[in-house]
Amino acid sequence: MLTFRCPYCGIDACETELAPGGEAHLKRFGPGSADADFEAYLFLRHNAKGVHFERWRHAMGCGKWFLAARCTATLEVFGTYPAQTPEPPQDIVAAIRAKRPDWSLS
Partner 1 sequence: MRRYSAFAIARQAFRHHEGWERAWRSPEPKARYDVVIVGAGGHGLATAYYLGKNHGIRNVAVIEKGWLGGGNTGRNTTIIRSNYLQDPSAAIYEKARSLYETLSQDLNYNVMFSPRGVMMLAQTEHEIRGYQRTAHANALQGVATEFISPRRVKELCPIINLDGPRYPVLGALWQPRGGTARHDAVAWGYARACSDIGMDIIQQTEVTGVQREGGQVVGIDTTRGPIACGKLGIVVAGHSGVMAERAGFRLPIESVALQALVSEPIKPVMDVVVMANTVHGYMSQSDKGEMVIGGGADGYNNYTQRGSFHHVEETVRALIETFPIISRLKMLRWWGGIVDMTGDRSPIISKTPVEGVFVNCGWGTGGFKAIPGSGWAMAELMAKGHSPLADAFSLDRFREGRFIDESVAAGVAH
Cα separation, 72 vs 5, in Å, equals 18
Of residues 41-70, which lie at the interface with partner 1 (CB under 8 A)? 42-49, 52, 54
Q: Is 84 in the site for partner 1 (CB under 8 A)?
A: no
12-32 per-residue burial string, b: 16 or more CB within 10 A, e: under 16? ebeeebbeebeebeeeebeee
Q: Does 20 bind partner 1 (CB under 8 A)?
A: yes
What is the binding site for partner 1 (CB under 8 A)?
1-2, 15-16, 19-20, 22-23, 35-36, 39-40, 42-49, 52, 54, 72-75
